[in-house]
Structure 1
Amino acid sequence: MAKIKTLSSSLRIADTRSVKPPPKQADKELASPEYRAWAAEVKRRAGYQCEWVEASKRCYVGAPARLFADHIVERRDGGALLDPANGQCLCGSHHTRKTVAARAARLRS
């Protein structure tokens, strides 16, 4: 039986203990007083509870959990930055889930 020669990989592995990714930076518009007021209004309107509804089941996570004022139609997809009608209050888990699904859909199109 013949042996197949293998070549060593020319790819280097990054050691994340010594090579740190750049820190995440929020968009400047998300630090504006107008945006903060919008986010506070979205959370207040929701009663400081997650508004996620799936298969007729509602998420009941609320304060003091971390809550996000989320754009229903993401800004990258044409959603209005400060329109209260384009806002919903989501818990961290559902905010991540929605954002990942929106990014995946954007990549497919």
Structure 2
Amino acid sequence: MAKLTMMRPRLGAMPSSVQAMPKVAASIYQSAEWRKFAADIKRQRGGACEVCGSRNRVIADHIVELKDGGEPFNPQNIQLLCHPHHQAKTAAARARRASGVTG
């Protein structure tokens, strides 16, 4: 019986010309109104991640994302998250949307 290790792979690496699409932030996050709003929230709440207490790279994050109908300037729809917790929360929301699960 022939060894499978002798078989050559049929699929190679992705061509170097294929690149991921760049992330484009919603225009609201570039506005002076949002920047002031987020800075005010951070100042009022102490500027720490509400999950772990980190003060490193803290983001004013929408609890209900704008894509899911969240209110953009409602302080009750904002939580402060460090970058790792923000990334995890955003990835979970994207996966939920992709699977068609709501809520």
Alpha-carbon shift at residue 45 of structure 1 (Å): 2.2
- Is 1:14 aligned with 2:14? yes
Flag structure 1 segments of 5+ consecutive residues without an equivalent.
53-58
Q: Which has the higher contact order (CA 8 A, sep 6+)?
A: 1
Check the 8 A contact 1:41/1:84 in 2, yes or no: no
> How do residues 29-68 of structure 1 correspond to structure 2 at under 5 angstroms?
29-52=28-51, 59-62=52-55, 65-68=56-59
SS at match of 1:99: helix
Partner Cα separation in structure 2 for residue 92 and residue 45 of structure 1: 19
Which letter maps to 1:36?
R
Q: Taking every aligned residue pair, what percent have the same amino acid on both sides?
A: 45
Counterpart residue number, 2:93: 102
Which residue identity lines up with residue 61 of structure 1 in the other structure? S
Cα root mean square deviation, aligned: 2.6
Matched residue SS, 1:21: coil
TM-score norm. by structure 2 comes to: 0.76
Q: Is the 8 A contact 1:70 1:87 kept in 2?
A: yes
Q: CA deviation at 1:50?
A: 0.3
Unaligned 5+ segments in structure 2 are: 2-6
Q: CA deviation at 1:23?
A: 3.2
Q: What SS does the aligned partner of 2:54 have? A: coil
2:68, 2:27 → 1: CA distance? 18
2:84 to 81, 93, 98: 93
Question: 1:55 corresponds to which residue?
Answer: none
1: distance between equivalents of 2:90 and 2:29? 16
